[in-house]
A and B are shown apart, each in its own frame.
Chain A
Amino acid sequence: MPFEALRFIHASNVYLDHQLQDPGTANDEHKRLLEDATTTAFERLIDHAVQRQVDFLLLTGNTFVEAEHSLRARVVLLNGFRKLAEHDIEVFVVPGAVDPPFAWKNCDNLPENVVQFSIDNEEPVAVLRGGHVIASIAPAVLGSTGSRRPIVPAVRSERPRGGGAPTRPFAIGLFNPADEGTELLPTETSASQSCPSESDVELEQHVTSLLNTGTFDYLAVGCHDLRRTWHGNSGLSHSPGCPQGRRSTHAGPHGCTLVEVDAEGTVNCHMLPVAAVRWVNLAVEIEPETSQDDLLMHMLGELQTIQSETVETLWLVKWMIRGCGPLWQALQSESLRNNVLEFCELEAELPPGVQQQHRIRLQSAESVLEGDHETDWLPREYMQHLQAEQPLTRETLSALLQQVDFPDTRWSKRLQALSAVTSRDAITHRAQQLGIEWFGTTPEEEAAA
């Protein structure tokens, strides 16, 4: 059955005015870019909607963080909605974990073009063009049957004005994994991910089961930071990811999705990059014989391989230098690391308009932990003790805290809480480094030996 061709933008996890996690030390210019990263992405998203004359905008959860009470987020949101209203573009909003329904209800002065969905209200909403329905949007709930489609009044087959075969509305389902009984955390500060309990496998199962009901032509998945598409028998499901990566795990280009449906019902999803700040994670392995020049050339080479989007203005490059040997030891010196980063910033041929901010994290090779200290008993013993504690768990850290004599519970509670969010790798690496500092031999000593 043919459809009315339509076009809309699907975005999720906008996190308006939410700040990026651990972007590193930034200068004033970079700081401004970083602070405005999420709002910039949203404004670009609105501009895309206007420029491409979409039929509507779909925001599937986590548009802003209610717990932060950000006025700026609300202002940017309302300005964007008003701009869309001026161009007769409707906005369909699904509350998420961090922007629950009550937060949307508290939003005064929402323009009339904004339609808010909630879990309680499963009624489909019709999208009209020229007086007839071109699409229906409804929340998708696991366990519900495919009988929702006839609910929409406009689902009646309509004959187009110019004659021809009757058409039916394009059915869009809104699926927010956070709604499926997931315990949602109030802020992202304490949550490492938006959908922490939703593993990819479970999500895929849910999406597949929803698609297989045949109820929806397009299942809009929200509250998922990763951009993914699942194809079903009668439609497809899509998660646009977040328009702006908020932490280093969100590496690569980010944006929203332009969904285009032609008369045959073929759905095409194109990513529209809107993220001004891009996280770039690069790993470099160094061997004992690697020289500093080799390392610098390798790093420059790695940077050259990255394809840039035109909207990007700042790259947050995080280097993971893994290995061992004299150069790796020398990189423990902050001055040398700064020299390396300075060289990268000066020599890297980035696309025009893109600024860069580099950081280095060191990770020792396995051989260091396993103990390459055949002759020295003490470091070997130390590393063996560390190795015996691997993998480092929260329980290990709790046991560690119990050994410490705290004068009161304030610090023990704080550190107990930190033990849940602190990087175990960082702890292990630092402990190894301390061992090397305390018991290791300097290159001079190795030479003397």
Chain B
Amino acid sequence: MKITNIEIQKFGAWRDLSLSLRDNGLNVFYGPNEAGKSTLMRFIRGVLYGFKPGDTFGTDRHNRTIPWEGTLRVDRDGERCSVRRTTHENSRGRIDIVDAANKQLPEDWLNELLADTDETIFERVFAIGLQELQELSTLHDDEVSQHIYGLTLGPEGQRLLETQPQADQERRRLLNPHDGTGRLATLFDRLDQINAEIESLRHQRGEHADLCHERSLWNDTIAELRSRHAGLDSQLRGHKFLERVWTPWQQTQQIQRELDRLPVVASFPENGLARFEEFDSELTTALKCRDAVLAEANQLRKDEEQLNVDPEFQKHFGTVQGFVDQREWIRELEDQIADAESQSSEFHRQLDQQLEKLGTEWSLDRLKSVDTTPTAHYRLATEARTYQSALARRSKLKRRLQRMSNTCQVRMGALADRQKELHADDIDVSLRESRTRLGHLQELSSLTVREDELEHNLGSLALHRERLEARLSLPKWVYGVLAFFGVTGVFLAILGVITGVTTDGIVGTIYAFLGASCAGFLWAFKRHCERDVRGNLDQLDREYQEIEFHLQQTRDAIAGLRAAVDTPPVGGQSKKPDAEQQADHTLAERIEQQQRRVKILEELSRENREIYALRRRMTERRAKFRTLQRKASTARQEWCLLLEQMGFTETVKIADAFETWHQVLNAKEQLRNCEIIDKERQNLRRSWQSYRQRIEELGHRMHRWDLNYEQPLDVLDFWEEELKEFAENRKQQQRLRRDEKARRTEAAEYQERIDELKMQRSVLLVQGGATTREEFEDRSDSVERRIELEDQLALAQAELTEAAATEPELAIVEEDLRAYDPDENAEHILTLEEEGQDLQGDIEHAFENLGRIKREVEVLEADRRGTTLRFERNQIEAEVKAVAADWFAAEWAAQTVEKIRANYERNCQPAKLAAAARYLERLSCGKYRNIWTPLGKRHLRVDDDRHNSLVVEHLSNGTREQLFLAIRMALLDDFAEQGIRLPMVLDDVFVNFDQTRTEAAVDELIDFARQGHQVLFFTCHLHLAQMFESKGVEPIRLPEHRPPREERLAG
């Protein structure tokens, strides 16, 4: 959109202003302060977007009834219209839009005109004054900044942006040196702790050495104490030895003296007195026992004699017991007999039933005569199989023959029907005729095509000839020339005749000759022009005749073929009249019809051949069937013969025969069972009878006449009771006899013992050299005392020897023993023992200390803390290395990402900033070359020609305004690319530029306008207006006006 005219009826200080703008894009408005430049800018914005209260409020206090209004005439792509806005209460003004034809346009049209550009953007980008230019915040509005920084960083920028927190997090996870957190810090803390603990264990070796030294000292002490203790122990042992030896030595001396005083008794029996007393005592006891035992034996004899036992029963006791023992067998035998009889009757009943099933002609004798051996069964099965196989083969072949016959009949019927449909009595003949007719039709078709082609050629030649003949007519001018020459020739000829006649013959001749020449020229020229065409016409005539000849030949051939194909077929195909046939079918249809017929006939021919082959196979199989029929008859005869031989009823049904066979087999089995059970029953009955007779005989032998021997089991029950009674008595009798016998044997043994004791007592008295008991007792006392003393002497001597053996290194002489004083020795022992106890206490104390030290040493040596801590330290050190590697990697990666990001920020900025950088470079005369923003931030940074990166706040005012102007120019470029072309209105924005950069800015603005942008530049500086003027841009001087002082707003 471009503004072509500004018309203000009333707005601010302006009244009835009309400004026409130039077409070159750049319009510089010059006017002094308070000339109304800013008001004009507000007017433009107000007309386009609506008046703001600030624009109209407080103005025209004297005449509020007159509305403010003005018109902008605009041109949009050649379409002109005018936009008028009039202030209206409670709104931003009423708008009227009319086109060039003064036609009212809707309000929406204004939005289209502005390309939906937001008012904020217009105020901050398109229409700016010095104030907007200086404020950075005007570029940070969301909508504006979106246009500057771009809606997105791009996928790479986004990823770079996302990477930074990840990298920071990774680094912080591993180590945050500022607050000493992170895995590495934790590990180092633990490492320090372990090192401290290890350091605290450093004294262990010193402690161990001290303890070992102390241990050796205590070992020495113990050794010394042990040495002293050993000396004391040696003295004590001496005294104790003397004490121990002296007592048995003294006893020996006393016993020896008493022995010398006792009389000597030779060969006194050993323990003689005791033995004598023992014999006496035993003898008395034996006598008493013998008498008592004999009394018991007599009493037992009497008791036995009182028991009563039947002698006959006792005689046959074994036999009775045998029968009683067999009682259960007898009972089972009776049960078996009953079972056998029951079974026998059941078997006979079943046999009768089976005979009934076999039929009345079957008797037991016939049944017995039938051969049911496995051989017979095998023969029967073999013959049945043979017979059955013959029948099956025959049936199978018969079925197959039947199927073939049916198939053959069906196919023949179908063939006949189709023959009938095709009217083909003979298929082969019809096929040959059809093929011939098809050939004729095809040839006729090709000839027809040929005829059409030749006719077409003839037509073409005729047409060509007509065209050539048309070419014989020359152009009109030729005919004009020819007419001229003709008329001239006639005229000259006439003139020559007249002249020759009237004036001069020669002259007349010449005229006539000239006339003849004209006529000759006329004829020669015409012939020359028609020469080629005529040659072609001759050639065409020849070709025409030739084609006509071929066409005639073709038509003759067609006529011949039509006659042939219209002839009715011999095979019986129905004939239709030619006209009707041709009306019904075209040639192509007839060919197709014939082809179908040929195809059908070929199929029928193939079917015919197959039916013939089928019938031939049927004939062969019928012969085979007859052979099988004969074999089946033979097998049936043999089968019947076999049945007869085996005693069965003759039948051709194999299943019946086998069923009869099975019934006979079952009946025979039943018969055999009957025979077996009858035989078994008889045997059982015989056994039972024999047993009963034997019982009766035994009862009679035992004089038991009143028992019922027909019921042997009752007899046996009675006998069993008797047996029990008899066994009880007999058992009692045996026990009494056994006891009596034992008593008598015991009495005899006592008697023998009594005799023996008497004999021994006599022998003992003789051995003791005594005759009486008193004498024997005196001699016994002497002997016992001697033995006692001798034993005491031996004991004392053994004790002495033992004592001497315990201390082999000590030797004692008799003088010492004689001089021995027990009290004095005991006192020595007591003293030495006390000293020994003291030493032992010292040793134990030393051992306790040694044990304590050893335990401490063991505890120290077993202490694994150092090992464990060093192991853990190594583990942590390894982990520290691993985590440090991770940290270095994270730091390296982060710094690498930072480098990539820095490159990306400088080299991969949004296109608008790149364009702005180009504008800035020109506006700043090459001082500043790059504008960029850190990733993810909306801070502008500018790189100067020394590659210093500066933030906006560090730029000078003029440079900052140049930067913002450059950015806005870049934005306008971007808007223009999007199809949004709105005028740029600048209100004295160069005031802070120095001379050089002002010139550069003017040049840049002129270039910018040349690119198609409309720029309205307002200035109150004359030098600026002159500078534009010097660059070829004539400034528009705003007209002076003198509005009331209180109404001034502009400036």
Contacts and interface: CB of A to CB of B under 8 A. Distances in A.
Interface of A: 17-23, 25, 31, 34-36, 68-72, 74-75, 108-109, 189, 377-378, 381-382, 385-386, 389, 397, 400-401, 403-404, 406-408, 411, 414-415, 418-419, 421-423, 426-431, 433-435, 437-439
Contacts of A418: 880-881, 884
B874 A438 contact: no
A35 B891 contact: no
Contacts of A403: 891, 895
B893 A435 contact: yes
Most B CB contacts (10 A, CB to CB) among A17, A401, A423, A438 go to A438
Nearest to B881: A422
A108 B881 contact: no
B893 A35 contact: no
6 contacts: A22-B874, A72-B867, A75-B208, A422-B881, A427-B889, A438-B893
B885 interface: yes
B170 interface: yes
Interface stretch (B780-788, B896-904, B1030-1038): B896-904
Interface string B140-167: 0000000000000000100110110011
A154 B886 CA distance: 62
Given A69-B204, A72-B861, A411-B177, A430 B885 contact: yes
A421 B202 contact: no
B821 interface: no
Given A34-B871, A378-B159, A415-B884, A189 B877 contact: yes
Given A25-B875, A438-B893, 6 more contacts: A21-B878, A68-B870, A72-B864, A386-B892, A411-B175, A438-B163
A385 B896 contact: yes
A151 B160 CA distance: 77
A35 to B, nearest CB: 5
Contacts of A25: 875
B178 A378 contact: no
A19 B877 CA distance: 12
A70 B205 CA distance: 7
A40 B156 CA distance: 59
Give the size range of B's interface with the partner: 35 or more
A427 B892 contact: yes
A414 B874 contact: no
Contact of B159 (A20, A401, A439): A439
Contact of B889 (A381, A431, A438): A431
Nearest to A31: B871
Contacts of B188: 414
B885 A427 contact: yes
A434 B893 contact: yes
A439 B887 contact: no
Interface string B933-954: 0000000000000000000000
B886 to A, nearest CB: 5
Most A CB contacts (10 A, CB to CB) among B159, B177, B863, B899 go to B177
A378 B888 contact: no
Nearest to A419: B888
Contacts of A435: 893
Contact of A22 (B204, B209, B875, B893): B875
Nearest to A404: B891
B895 A71 contact: no
A386 B896 contact: yes
For chain A, what secondary structure do more than half of its interface residues adopt (helix, strand, loop), or is it mixed? helix
B870 A385 contact: no
Given A19-B867, A439-B163, A430 B897 contact: no
Interface in B201-219: 201-202, 204-205, 208-209, 212-213
Nearest to B903: A381
B866 A72 contact: yes
Contacts of B202: 69
Nearest to B216: A109
A428 B889 CA distance: 7
B870 A19 contact: yes
A18 B871 CA distance: 8
A21 B878 CA distance: 7
Nearest to B156: A378
A382 to B, nearest CB: 6
B882 interface: yes
Interface of B: 156, 159-160, 162-163, 166-167, 170, 175, 177-178, 188, 201-202, 204-205, 208-209, 212-213, 860-861, 863-864, 866-868, 870-871, 873-875, 877-878, 880-882, 884-893, 895-897, 899-900
B221 to A, nearest CB: 19
A415 B880 CA distance: 10
B892 A400 contact: yes
Contacts of A377: 156
Nearest to A78: B212
Given A389-B892, A407-B177, A381 B867 contact: no
Nearest to A381: B900
Contacts of B177: 404, 406-408, 411
A433 B893 CA distance: 10
Nearest to B877: A189
Contacts of B166: 437-438
Contact of B867 (A35, A421, A433): A35
Contacts of B885: 422-423, 426-427, 430
Contacts of A109: 212
B553 to A, nearest CB: 77
Contacts of B167: 434, 438
Contacts of B873: 19
A110 to B, nearest CB: 12
Given A404-B891, A418-B881, A439-B159, A74 B874 contact: no
A410 to B, nearest CB: 8
A312 to B, nearest CB: 19
Nearest to B162: A438
Given A378-B160, A385-B900, A407-B178, A108 B861 contact: no
A22 B878 contact: yes
Nearest to B861: A75
B178 A430 contact: no
A406 B170 CA distance: 17
A71 B204 contact: yes
Contacts of B201: 69, 71
Contacts of A414: 188
A71 B868 contact: no
A192 B874 CA distance: 13
Most A CB contacts (10 A, CB to CB) among B159, B878, B893 go to B893
Contact of B871 (A19, A389, A434): A19
A22 B885 CA distance: 14
Contacts of A419: 884, 888
Nearest to A20: B874
A430 B890 contact: yes
Nearest to A65: B870
B895 A438 contact: no
A74 B205 contact: yes
B860 A71 contact: yes
A35 B866 contact: no
Contacts of B867: 17, 19, 35-36, 70, 72
A377 B900 CA distance: 11
Nearest to B886: A430
Contacts of A422: 881, 884-885, 888
A419 B881 CA distance: 9
A155 B99 CA distance: 132
Nearest to A386: B896
A36 B156 CA distance: 55
A426 B871 CA distance: 23
Contacts of A426: 882, 885-886, 889
B220 to A, nearest CB: 15
Nearest to A430: B889
A170 B420 CA distance: 130
Nearest to A21: B874
A423 B881 contact: yes
A406 B895 CA distance: 15
Contacts of B896: 382, 385-386, 431
